[in-house]
Amino acid sequence: MIGELGVARREWLLERVTLTLGRGILTRAFLTLSSALLLASCATVKGGEPTREQVLQKILPSAVQVVVEQREGRRIKSGSGVAIAARRTAEGPACFVLTSGHTFAGLAGKTEIYTVFGRHVGTGRKVRTLLVAARNDGIDLALLRAETEECSTVTPAAAPALGSPIWVVGFPLGRHIMLSSGVVGQVIVGDAGDPAARLIVDAPVTYGVSGGGVYDARTGGLLGLVEGFSTARLTAQGTSPGWYVDVPVPGQTFVTPLTDVRQFLGEIERTDLFPR
């Protein structure tokens, strides 16, 4: 009798251990499956947004350098620009570029304009360029046309909000390409008669970056072009005549918004180059 009870107890314990182990296996399997589903969902959400590298691969080819030279080849001005459209014309392939209008203000004598493409991968290719139109008053923009097949264009971005991350691409002091990052620091909405929003970003820039693209860092879309920046004047003491230098103020980069871009293109009847 005692032996039979011992055998029955051992069988009962064996069943409990087996059941416990089975539950443990099922629990581990459930947790593994849940983790896999969670990681897959995260990857799906993240996969919907481009990576930083993908965004940069999109915007960097659209950034161009603008150079103004005298006929003998001496550079007198330089700036930055953005390729917005590629077209086939009667003369052949053409790339249309937006840049700042003040780059071409006050030019005297015989000058040549060039656009340099592909600077993000080296010295680039210098192409003679035609000035289609320019303004340097309430709107600071110019449209250029370069006869070239090399034309990686940009698309417009959605309207930004305060704190939206941005990239700025330009060519400071007419030299190498520069990439700077920041956020939208101010969105200044106009009055009822002037509904256009003005933008200020905190990405640092300097001379030569005017006309460079300001891009949405999340999508690579174009938010506007660098118009200018605030400066502070530093004066040397004890010199005659007074010597001074104007230096950019960090956090005060002014942006020409897409509303101005579309108004400018509308005035010259070229809205087809940058549709909404």
Same domain, residue pair 106 and 175: no
Global pTM?
A: 0.76
Percent with pLDDT over 90 in the chain: 55
Residue 17 has pLDDT above 70, yes or no: no
> Does some domain include residue 151?
no
Taking the CA atoms of 37, 41, 43 and 44 in sequence, report the sign of the dihedral they define: positive
CATH number at residue 269: 2.40.10.10
Q: Which domain holds residue 76?
A: 54-146
> Does some domain include residue 108?
yes
Which H helix or E strand runs over 180?
strand 178-189
Residue 122, phi-psi category: left (phi > 0), alpha (psi -120 to 50), beta (remainder): left
> Does some domain include residue 177?
yes
> Does some domain include residue 269?
yes
**What is the C-alpha to C-alpha distance for residues 133 and 166, in angstroms, rounded to an integer?**
28
> Does some domain include residue 3?
no
Tally of domains within the chain: 2
Residue closest to 219 by CA, chosen among 42, 54, 84: 54
Same domain, residue pair 140 and 169: no
> Does some domain include residue 44?
no
Residue closest to 171 by CA, chosen among 161, 182, 163, 179: 179
Mean of all residue pLDDT scores within the chain: 81
> Does some domain include residue 82?
yes
Per-residue pLDDT reduced to its tens digit, 151-189 = 999 999 998 899 999 999 999 988 899 999 999 998 887
